[in-house]
Amino acid sequence: MIENRLSDYLDHMLEATKLAYCYVEGMPKEDFMADTRTQQAVIMNLIILGEAATKLIKDYSEFLDQYPDVPWRSMKGMRNRIAHGYFDINLDTVWETVQMSLPQLLERLPDMLEAAEKQK
């Protein structure tokens, strides 16, 4: 039997999403492109996000089916591309992800976390 870690994974995702987003909030793209420290902080949180998504896909697919508009496989794929091709990271893609995808995820994750808590 799998221990129910659904809420834990969603909580990790929420925290990583908040951190990655706040690191660049109000920062122009040019500043991000010149700031290695911020790049690495954001990338690390994208890895955490993708790792949690990978665990959810593996162990909680029925729950994820309730949220077909969330790009679960894309998160997993980005994590794999970052983790296995670290020297080939496309910073434009990282920037676009943080600017376009993370705000949407920040809107959705609290409700998903609440739904997961009710399943316990």
Name the residues annotated as catalytic: 79, 84
Q: What pLDDT was estimated at residue 72?
A: 95
Note the pLDDT tens digit of each residue in 22-34.
Answer: 999 999 999 999 9
Q: What is the pLDDT of residue 1?
A: 42
- 72 vs 2, residue with greater confidence: 72
pLDDT tens-digit profile of 61-94?
Answer: 999 999 999 999 999 989 988 887 767 889 999 9
> pTM, whole model, 2 decimals?
0.90
The Cα–Cα gap between 107 and 109 comes to 6
- Select from 2, 3, 4, 9 the least CA-distant residue to 112: 9
